[in-house]
Amino acid sequence: MADLLTVSGLSLKTADKLLVEDLSFSIGQGERFGLIGESGSGKSLTSFAILGLLPASIRPTGSITLGGEQIVGASERRLSSLRGDAVACVFQEPLTALDPLMPLGRQIAGPVRRRLKREGIDSSRAAVKREVRVLMEQVRLPDPQRLFDAYPHEVSGGQRQRVAIAMALACQPRLLIADEPTTALDVTTQAEIVQLINALVADLGISLLFISHDLAVVGQVAERVMVMRNGRPVEIGTAQQVLTKPHDDYTRNLVAAARRFDAALEGGA
């Protein structure tokens, strides 16, 4: 079967700077793919390119196909119908990623209503509300009755991120992009969110593009990973191979550093 997402020869540049150079990878149906890199390595820009949401000042060249559709150079109309349908995204900072002035229930209802309309099913107020409740349960939000009418600033960071995940799932996308979804959270909550994403992706058979600087987190999620540095791909392979027997010097350093850090933590404990 053809891959769901194929990125080949992707470069991103502004008027005077090359941000991402000659990036190629693909994600199969139901596959969980990890993109690793330190901040500024171009991994988030890559996810924006896949969503077709690059700022106007950045020009993409090369090719990105999602479910057989070319994204580079596609019209905004085409892109906006792909977003939500083929691909959805969870971002790093759930506080700013949610509308501060809208109750959580209504925020989840937005993508729900769009999907119901797209599929031509009953999109009445009651139907949307029912679906929102199901989603809130699916992402294990406690006390949905209260949270439905709560505002983002009234709930915890982990709960906000669950809402963001619910919104992404509401689209029933074929590819879920999770862009540093755990970075803004504390360690315990991180683990819960990673578990949740893992479980949902597996249950629903969605492909996952998981972006993080944290090797340990990516290792828990991804089957295959790619390491990026300064906008260039450094190494690609199965998670097992890259994270335990890296070929590239940079990756080796990353892995060694992560190990030392873990060892220090354990030694200190």
Partner 1 sequence: MLAYMIRRLVILLLSLFLAAIVLFVLLRLLPGDPANALVGVGATPEQIAAAQAQLGSDQPLAAQFVKYLRDIVQLDLGNSFVSRASVLDEISRRLSVTLPLTLASFVLALLIAVPFGILAAVKSDRWYGLLLSVVSQVGIAVPVFWLGILLVYEFSLNLRWLPSGGFPLRGYADPARAVQSMILPVLTISIVMSASLMRYVRAATLEVLGSDFLRTARALGESHTGALMRHGIRNGAVPVISVLGIELSTAFLGAVVVEQVFSLPGMGSMLLLGIQQRDYPSIQGVLIVSTLLVLMTGFLADLLQRVLDPRLRQGGKQ
Partner 2 sequence: MSTASTAFPRRSKRINITFWLGLVLVGGISLAGILSLFWTPYALSDMAGGRLEAPNASHWAGTDRLGRDMFTQLMIGARIALIVGCGAVGIGAAIGVTTGLLAAFATRFLDDALAAFMDILIAFPTLLVAMLVVAAREESSLGTAILALGIGVSPIIARITRILTKQVLGQDYIIAARVSGTSWGAIVFWHILPNIVPFLAVNLALQFGLAVMAEASLSYLGLGAPPPNASWGHMLHEAQGTVYTAPWGAILPGLALFALVIGINLLADGLRDRFDPSRRDM
Q: Catalog residues that contact partner 2 under the rule CB under 8 A.
A: 52-58, 76
Closest CB 50 distance from partner 1, rounded Å: 10
Amino acid at 139: V
Residue 42 CA to residue 52 CA, distance in Å, equals: 15
Closest CB 76 distance from partner 2, rounded Å: 6
Choose from partner 1, partner 2, none: what does 54 bind? Cβ within 5-8 Å by kind: partner 2
Closest CB 45 distance from partner 2, rounded Å: 10
Cα 133 versus chain centre, distance: 23
What number of other Cβ atoms are within 10 A of residue 127's Cβ? 14
Residue 213 CA to residue 267 CA, distance in Å, equals: 23
Residue 20 CA to residue 46 CA, distance in Å, equals: 8
> With respect to partner 2, which residue has the nearer C-beta, 76 or 266?
76
Closest CB 56 distance from partner 2, rounded Å: 4
Choose from partner 1, partner 2, none: what does 120 bind? Cβ within 5-8 Å by kind: none
Choose from partner 2, partner 1, none: what does 128 bind? Cβ within 5-8 Å by kind: none
Residue 104 CA to residue 8 CA, distance in Å, equals: 38
> With respect to partner 1, which residue has the nearer C-beta, 98 or 208?
98
Closest CB 212 distance from partner 1, rounded Å: 18
> With respect to partner 2, which residue has the nearer C-beta, 45 or 169?
45
| Helix H or strand E segment including 208 | strand 207-212
Residue 71 CA to residue 3 CA, distance in Å, equals: 15
Residue 198 CA to residue 59 CA, distance in Å, equals: 33
- Residues near partner 1 (CB under 8 A) are 51, 53, 56, 76, 80-81, 83-85, 88-89, 91, 93, 96-102, 110-111, 114, 151, 153-154, 164, 167-168, 170-171
> With respect to partner 2, which residue has the nearer C-beta, 55 or 100?
55
Residue among 50, 9, 6 nearest 28 (CA): 6
> With respect to partner 1, which residue has the nearer C-beta, 98 or 196?
98
> With respect to partner 2, which residue has the nearer C-beta, 45 or 243?
45
Query: What pairs with residue 23 in β-bridges?
Result: 10
Closest CB 231 distance from partner 2, rounded Å: 16
Question: How crowded is the C-beta side of 83, counted as CA atoms within 13 Å?
Answer: 18
